[in-house]
């Protein structure tokens, strides 16, 4: 566990791990602008909820960066057995003091860079801790995991290429949604994230 933890929280300019990528993404938001960073760090088919699922690049195309960016940090990370897909979750704080959490799915690209492919989150009443070393987990490499496809719609989901990490969502007409993440333990999937997001008032 310790070597894996150190691997996942190592920081360098290459963003070699999903935690590196999350931290570099958050740092870029402060340095180059919030929406500029969102565009830079997302895949071409990345999805965000506004509150319905949309293509991130379409939604952000002409959106100007706010004067001050939101600040966020990872608290926990789950990685597929093959090391190509990960899910990070953590806390955020807006410049106005509002607090919340995020869940972001990351995928390693053919050139070795990490890009986020799904971003979700909501507000909280109490802030999440800001650990120096986020808790890290890796899926089992034994057994045969299942598969789910990724698509945009009222319901959707996806899976790592080795099927050991998967995610699914359902969005109601009023914007309420669920996001669930499963990680393979060698026999079945453990539910590691179960986000329930109420409709916006």
What is the three-class DSSP state of 10? coil
Q: Look at residues 116, 42, 32, 39 and name the one whose alpha carbon lies nearest to residue 74.
A: 116
Looking at residue 155, its pLDDT comes to: 80
End-to-end CA distance of the chain: 42
Confidence of residue 6 (pLDDT cuts 50, 70, 90): very low
Q: Look at residues 59, 56, 49, 53 and name the one whose alpha carbon lies nearest to residue 25.
A: 56
Structure token pair of residue 121: 């989150």
Looking at residue 147, its pLDDT comes to: 57
Domains of the chain: 2-64+72-197 (3.10.450.50)
Tell me what the mean pLDDT of segment 100-113 comes to. Answer: 96
What would the pLDDT profile of 32-69 be if each residue is shown by its tens digit? 999 999 999 999 999 999 999 999 999 999 999 999 99
What would the pLDDT profile of 128-185 be if each residue is shown by its tens digit? 999 999 999 999 999 877 654 444 457 889 999 999 999 999 999 999 999 999 999 9
Confidence of residue 1 (pLDDT cuts 50, 70, 90): very low
| pLDDT at residue 8 is higher than 70 | no
Average pLDDT over the chain reads 90
- According to DSSP, the residues that pair with 42 across neighbouring strands are 116
What is the three-class DSSP state of 40? helix
Q: Look at residues 105, 100, 83, 77 and name the one whose alpha carbon lies nearest to residue 166.
A: 105
Confidence of residue 12 (pLDDT cuts 50, 70, 90): very low
116, 46 Cβ separation under 8 angstroms: yes
Angle between helix 2-9 and helix 18-32 axes, rounded to 10 deg: 20
């Amino acid at each position: 566990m310790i070597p894996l933890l150190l691997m996942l929280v190592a920081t360098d300019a290459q963003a070699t791990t999903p935690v590196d990528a999350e931290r570099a993404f958050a740092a870029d938001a402060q340095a180059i602008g919030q929406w500029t960073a969102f565009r830079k760090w997302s895949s071409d088919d990345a999805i965000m909820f506004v509150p319905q699922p949309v293509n991130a690049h379409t939604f952000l195309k002409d959106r100007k960066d706010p004067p001050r960016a939101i600040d966020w940090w990872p608290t926990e990370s789950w990685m597929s057995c093959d090391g190509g897909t990960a899910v990070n979750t953590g806390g955020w704080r807006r410049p106005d003091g509002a607090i919340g959490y995020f869940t972001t799915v990351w995928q390693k690209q053919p050139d070795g860079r990490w890009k986020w492919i799904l971003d979700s989150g909501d507000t909280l009443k109490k802030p999440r801790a800001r650990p120096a070393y986020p808790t890290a987990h890796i899926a089992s490499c034994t057994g045969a995991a299942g598969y789910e496809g990724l698509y945009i719609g009222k319901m959707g989901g996806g899976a790592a290429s080795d099927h050991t990490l998967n995610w699914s969502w359902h969005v109601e007409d009023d914007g309420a949604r669920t996001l669930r993440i499963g990680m393979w333990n060698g026999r079945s999937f453990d539910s590691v994230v179960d986000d329930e997001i109420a409709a916006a008032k």
